[in-house]
């Protein structure tokens, strides 16, 4: 369908070097968008850029917790493309610990990367979209923003914050034709999740038993929701969280 076509759109993807971010960057490019690839690891971004042959790419190493880096990311994008249509606000980490073992430095680290980082990107890049009177921001939340996941206090707190930030920004910027939505994945086969499972070997079985579809998602299965929210197929959609969790949040037993 033409409404899902992203030809000539410009998309910034943070956390693009691996996992969900990488899959979304590839999906946006396949849909026709020129893609700005951002993360702290240049090598991963350059390898990804080599995979994308059919649209323009721009590699911009950035630490999303630093205002100067996020401003540079926007400026480099505008120098290359003169606009920004889509922000995939995806950079994030997890720290898997029981609440009583979580230290202040753990809390601060996850707050800085997951919540402060998404705020800075939305605030700085969103300002450009407001000036343009157009744009779509997709914040990467999680089923952990909707459910209480044991051993994930900091992670769930940040993802709940992202959901509220999404609603507030959607309400403030709708008049400027800037849509702000969230995607809330369940457990996905990524390095982030595998790292958490290595600390708790029983976790995979628990997740599968708690998920009606009986498996974890592949990163590519988060792409469709992101393209929908980025595209003209969702021009009257703002302020929502699109849950992609294999039924986990619907399962009541």
Q: Does domain 10-189+220-241 have CATH number 3.40.50.720?
A: yes
Q: Where are the domains of the chain?
A: 10-189+220-241
Burial 131-148 (b: 16+ CB within 10 A, else e): eeeebbbbbbbbbbbbbe
Active site residue 187: no
Average pLDDT of every residue of the chain: 94
- Which one is catalytic: 54, 155, 187, 236? 155
- pLDDT for the residue numbered 92: 85
pLDDT digits (tens, 9 = 90+) for 204-247: 888 899 899 999 999 999 999 999 999 999 999 999 999 999 99
d(CA 89, CA 72): 16
Strand 178-185 and strand 135-140: the pairing is parallel
Region of 26 please: left (phi>0), alpha (psi -120 to 50) or beta: alpha
Cα 129 to Cα 96: distance, rounded to the nearest angstrom: 35
Say whether pLDDT at 197 is over 80.
no
Express as a percent the part of the chain with pLDDT over 70: 96
User: Residue 199: its pLDDT value, please?
Assistant: 64
3-state secondary structure at position 125: helix
């Amino acid at each position: 369908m033409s409404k899902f076509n992203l030809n000539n759109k410009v998309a910034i993807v943070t956390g693009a070097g691996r996992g969900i971010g990488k899959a979304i960057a590839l999906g946006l490019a396949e849909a026709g968008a020129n893609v700005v690839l951002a993360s702290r690891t240049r090598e991963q971004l350059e390898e990804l850029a080599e995979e994308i042959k059919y649209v323009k790419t721009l590699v911009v190493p950035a630490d999303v917790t630093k205002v100067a880096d996020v401003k540079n990311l926007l400026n480099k994008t505008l120098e290359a493309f003169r606009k920004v249509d889509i922000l995939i606000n995806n950079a994030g980490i997890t720290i898997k610990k029981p609440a009583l073992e979580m230290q202040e430095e753990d809390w601060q680290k996850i707050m800085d990367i997951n919540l402060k980082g998404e705020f800075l990107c939305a605030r700085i890049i969103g300002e450009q979209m407001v000036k343009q009177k157009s744009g779509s921001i997709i914040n990467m939340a999680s089923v952990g923003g909707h459910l209480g996941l044991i051993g994930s206090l900091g992670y769930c707190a940040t993802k709940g914050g992202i959901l509220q930030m999404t609603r507030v920004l959607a309400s403030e910027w709708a008049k400027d034709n800037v849509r702000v939505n969230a995607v809330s994945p369940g457990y996905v086969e990524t390095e982030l999740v595998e790292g958490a499972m290595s600390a708790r070997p029983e976790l995979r079985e628990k997740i599968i038993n708690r998920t009606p579809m009986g498996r974890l998602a592949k990163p590519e299965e988060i792409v469709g929701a992101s393209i929908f929210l980025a595209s003209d197929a969702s021009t009257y959609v703002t302020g929502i969280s699109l849950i992609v969790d294999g039924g986990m949040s619907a399962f009541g037993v």
